[in-house]
Structure 1
Amino acid sequence: MAPSFDLIGLVVADLSKSLAFYRRLGLDIPASADTEPHVEVTLPGGPRLAWDTTETIRSFDPGWTPPSGSPRIGLAFRCDDPAEVDRVYTDLVGAGYEGHRQPWDAFWGQRYAIVHDPDGNSVELFAALPTT
C-alpha cells in the first residue's frame, strides 16, 4: 500500500498572527487555538492544514532553521468569481498583510492574485474568468 497524502504543515513565528490571517480566508479555527503549540484543521475533502511554532519544531529537530529567500510553497484558495478575488485581496492588504501581486487576468483563464501570509508563504487567490 502506498502512503496517502494527508497534511500540509506550516512552521510559523507567531501562531496567533498566522491563524488570524487564515481565519480571514474563511478557515474555521477556534480562538482557543491561538495559545497552542500545534494546531490542525481538516479542510474540505479531508486533508489537514497544520501550524507549528518554531519552538515546537525545534523541540524534536534542534537544528531546524527557517528557510531564506523566496517561498517554496504556495497555498491556493479558490474564490467564487473574479470580483471575490479582488475583494479578498483588498481585504487582506487593507488589514496589513503583504500584497505580492495585485489581481490580474491570467492567460490561463483565471483572475489571480498573490498575498503573503505573516511568515512569507505565498497564498494565491483565483477564480475562473467568464467565458465569452
Structure 2
Amino acid sequence: MVTGDMAAALAFYRRLGLEAPEGVEGQDHVEAVGPGGIRVAWDSEELIASITPDGEPAGEGRVGLAFLCDGPEGVDRTYAELTAAGHPGEKEPWDAFWGQRYALVRDPDGNTVSLFAPLG
C-alpha cells in the first residue's frame, strides 16, 4: 500500500490486529506478516515517486482489505474505535443481506477497509 503518512497507516492497521514492527514509522518501506503468513507492505509516497517513471503513485484506492471481526458486536466495536480515533466511516455497521454484519471505514490514505463477521 502506498501511504502519505507511515505513522498513521501503521497505527490504523495495528488497531486491526496487524503486528507491524515498532519504531519504523519514519521508514519508507515497512512490512508485517499477518495470519497465515500473508505479507502486508507499506511504501511512502516519496519512495514510490522515486521509482516510478512519472514520479507519482498510481491511482486512488489502490487496495481493498477486509478484516474478520469477533462476531457482529466486534464489527460495531471496531468501527466505533476506528471512527473515534478520527478515521472516516464510509458506512456504519449494518446487517447485510448476504448474512454478515458489515461496515466500511477509510484508512489514513483513503482506502476503503471492510469490517465483517457472520451474523449467525
Matched, 1:25 2:20: no
> Which residue is equivalent to 1:107?
97
Give matches, 1:1-132, under 5 Å.
10-63=1-54, 64-68=56-60, 71-130=61-120
Query: Any stretches of 5+ residues in structure 1 without a counterpart?
Result: 1-9
- TM normalised by structure 1 equals 0.85
Question: In the comparison of the two structures, how many residue pairs are matched?
Answer: 119
Query: Any stretches of 5+ residues in structure 2 without a counterpart?
Result: none
Larger CA Rg, structure 1 vs 2:
1
Q: Percent identity?
A: 54
- TM normalised by structure 2 equals 0.93
| CA positional deviation for 1:31 | 2.1
| CA positional deviation for 1:66 | 4.8
Structure 2 vs 1, CA of residues 40 and 72 (structure 1 numbering), >3 Å: closer, same or farther?
closer
Structure 2 vs 1, CA of residues 44 and 123 (structure 1 numbering), >3 Å: closer, same or farther?
same
**Which amino acid is 1:91 matched to?**
E
- Distance in 1 (CA, whole Å) between partners of 2:85 and 2:113 is 15
Structure 2 vs 1, CA of residues 15 and 61 (structure 1 numbering), >3 Å: closer, same or farther?
same
Structure 2 vs 1, CA of residues 84 and 107 (structure 1 numbering), >3 Å: closer, same or farther?
same
**CA RMSD, aligned part only?**
1.3
- Distance in 1 (CA, whole Å) between partners of 2:8 and 2:73 is 26
| CA positional deviation for 1:30 | 2.2
